[in-house]
Chain A
């Protein structure tokens, strides 16, 4: 199963873009990359996922490198409410149980 590596923490100024990197060098060809976030004391919230192409939705953009060994989650205009732990996940067993590692603790500062 592909494992992911993320920085432990990052800071971002309010209103600026937050770029959260993730390495998944052992990902296989049919495995997706998912991003979730967990705001303090809440359940994990789905953000976005992708396979090969870059993806964008109302929350974020996902940029996946051509070799698929890494990806970057972009929050284009971070707000204080985006302060959370962000998890990059490559699900085991074709979309079954999710394994959340340590994630990146993003602190958005005024």
Chain B
């Protein structure tokens, strides 16, 4: 079946501009995660949505970062006033509800801030 999809695949923007990154989770998956991965680094957790519960925003690095999940499905990660240090691969993952279900990742969006 269809996996997690993300768009755009690549995004180049100028410092100070706002960007929106989209994630379409696997159908029926109630949990959705955003991570980012800087060049050569491990994954950094950003935010987690579970059903209708309030999202866990503990990983967002600054108030320039925000995310929404509409209708319990598609999610958008917004970065306002982008900085060069925001350049990274932004990864989305989804899973079914419960404690140990596997997270499935999308291909990521490669963001470059010039």
Contact = CB atoms under 8 A, between A and B. Distances in A.
A99 B104 contact: no
A95 B98 contact: yes
Interface of A is mostly: loop
Interface of B: 4, 33, 35, 42-43, 45, 48, 56, 59, 91, 93, 95, 98-108
Given A95-B99, A98-B33, 17 more contacts: A43-B106, A43-B107, A43-B108, A46-B102, A46-B104, A49-B102, A95-B98, A95-B100, A96-B48, A97-B45, A97-B56, A97-B59, A98-B35, A98-B43, A99-B43, A99-B45, A100-B42
B2 to A, nearest CB: 14
A99 to B, nearest CB: 7
Interface string A97-110: 11111110000000
B67 to A, nearest CB: 14
Which 5 residue pairs of A and B lie closest in terms of their CB atoms, listed nearest first? A43-B105, A97-B45, A100-B42, A94-B99, A100-B43
A55 to B, nearest CB: 12
B41 to A, nearest CB: 9
Range for the number of chain A residues in contact with chain B: 20 to 34
A45 interface: yes
Contacts of A97: 33, 35, 45, 48, 56, 59
Nearest to B59: A97
Contacts of A21: none
B42 A101 contact: yes
